[in-house]
Amino acid sequence: MNHERIHLRQQLELLVLPFYIWYMLEYTYYRTKGYSKQKAYRSIVFEREAYQNECDFSYLKNRKFWGFLKS
């Protein structure tokens, strides 16, 4: 649940549509580099931030704007 809340914050920061464009471009980039579907998915900057912090329930209270760039 916290993982999805982190994604919601990311989407709000990027005004939703750019989030999905960035997400798909990054996924496509990793796939063209030869990554498996799972590895490409886990390499997306939004997923890295969400997975790294999904167990930290206070993360969103302290998270800096565009925190996904720091993960």
pTM, to two decimals: 0.92
pLDDT tens for 20-71 read 999 999 999 999 999 999 999 999 999 999 999 999 999 999 999 999 998 6
Question: Per the domain annotation, does 12 fall within a domain?
Answer: yes
Question: Per the domain annotation, does 63 fall within a domain?
Answer: no
Structural domain total, the chain: 1
Question: Per the domain annotation, does 71 fall within a domain?
Answer: no
- Give the pLDDT score at 26: 98
Question: Per the domain annotation, does 29 fall within a domain?
Answer: yes
- Per the structure, the complete domain to which residue 13 belongs is given by 2-58
Question: Per the domain annotation, does 45 fall within a domain?
Answer: yes
CA pair distance 13, 34, nearest whole angstrom: 30
- Give the pLDDT score at 12: 97
Question: Per the domain annotation, does 17 fall within a domain?
Answer: yes
CA pair distance 1, 69, nearest whole angstrom: 21
Question: Per the domain annotation, does 67 fall within a domain?
Answer: no
- Give the pLDDT score at 15: 95
